Structure 1
Amino acid sequence: MRPLILAFLGICCLAAHVVEGVGSEVPDKSICVSLTTQRLPVNRIKTYTIKEGSMKAVIFITKRGLKVCADPQAKWVKAAVKSVDSKSKTKSNLLQTKPTGAQHSTNTAVTLTG
């Protein structure tokens, strides 16, 4: 009887631990503790964010998902930010100017009678 009660209590404790963990994830907060001085190839950068606070930083997010903190005052960082911005503007412009099916002209004549 005791081993059964002990097993039941063990399962209850395990279940309580698992249920407590669900939904309690802390959102990923990017905190830079150091800044890289090594240049990051622009073709590997997917996007970036700018973090203010005790340590100002540009956080580059690579195509593989790696986050790299860099000094926002460095020349290579400014150039990389400009490059990423221009790439995103180019993609945005291409998406906006691409005609959709509703925008194609047709040669069908419509006659209205009234």
Structure 2
Amino acid sequence: MEMKRIKNLIPITFILILCPLCSDKGQIKINIKNDRDLYGTPFSIHITGLSPGEKVTLSAFSEDASGSEWTTSSDLTATSSGKITLTFDDPPENNPQRTDLYGYLSSMRPADNSNKNYHY
């Protein structure tokens, strides 16, 4: 399956990256709340149907207004119930079964690493 990169739709890119996954538990389901809102608007991604403790790599791609591509990836582990939740609205220290989506997105870097003028 060819991965397509969609400008400025990071949540949609998450779906395209995760869809090829297969799990011993069965069909993987992805639910995105507020998948088309502006950056900074709370949204969440819920992934279910994974095996308990299953490890997945989540990658995201985006393109900024100048045409530079940005990317990030993270290794995540499903809970004992086979779920992964990424959210802006509940910091991970308040709920250890949630992963900090804002931290994930703010870790994006230029994909080609050629532009040294960016400040992170």
Q: Answer whether TM exceeds 0.5 for this pair.
A: no
Give the shorter-chain TM-score range. Answer: under 0.3
Structure number with the higher helix fraction is: 1
With structure 2 as the length reference, what TM-score do the two structures score?
0.24
- Report the structure, 1 or 2, having the larger strand content: 2
Which of 1 and 2 has higher RCO (CA within 8 Å, sep 6+)? 2
Q: TM-score, normalised by structure 1?
A: 0.25
